[in-house]
Structure 1
């Protein structure tokens, strides 16, 4: 556990676990991460602008109940390789760097990044995941297919409002009296 004065070094595109809520309390870190999310691994997407030691993360799940609900499995989840016959169903497929043999025996097949929920957490709230047998850190490549750069681009496109959504927002503002 880190000291209260020195924060952990966080790597964008790496896989982490949350510390327990008790450990966060002991460190004096206020957290709003739900109990359910705290049980999952997370992928670090980057820093929260304007807040030192604050990171944007999304949860990783392999539970079918999380993935196959409300028909949103294609819109709100991105699979980690290897997934066969991905076709055009998913926005992309994430690739963990394979630095040592056996990396994937510890990472569950059929794991997905949940992109409809994100958390902003303090660096000291995260603990990096490594393969128990090799000590290899789990992370995405910086560039290329399945990389953190491709994921950011994919999420950026997804977050932009469509023309129809822009019209709806303008109409709502007019109704609420925000636009003259």
Structure 2
């Protein structure tokens, strides 16, 4: 039997529709908690969902002492982890129920030191949304950027995400 967080994340778009009666902040906290139960890195980096819209996700990362580099700024890899989660979730919200998602690669360009808290953003266009909704397995390259407290985006890149359809994940033994 699957736990509540596996059920919620296994049908993210359906779960978001069912939670629509709640205030926005509560919905984001519930999904963040579910993701934290599913993924140790989301939890230990203390990431949180800031905004969810069709084709768009923002994940926040605070400048906690445990995530800082020797210069006292948020470590660039911690910021790229937030971007990775944002890209995966933006695709996951459009996948059919039960589809399995996997991040294949992450490419991040670090252009300047990060200042203060950050917000990782990922978005996909309507054509990419259609590809994710199609039901079959697929692959998408999702653009992501990390915006720091100055409003600039010192980290930009992309994440390659692959998924398999629910029917191909089921065992069809003899």
Larger RCO of the pair (alpha carbons < 8 Å, separation 6+):
1
Q: Which has the larger radius of gyration?
A: 1
Greater strand share, 1 or 2?
A: 2
- TM above 0.5, one fold? no
Greater helix share, 1 or 2?
A: 2
TM-score between the two structures when normalised by the length of structure 1? 0.28
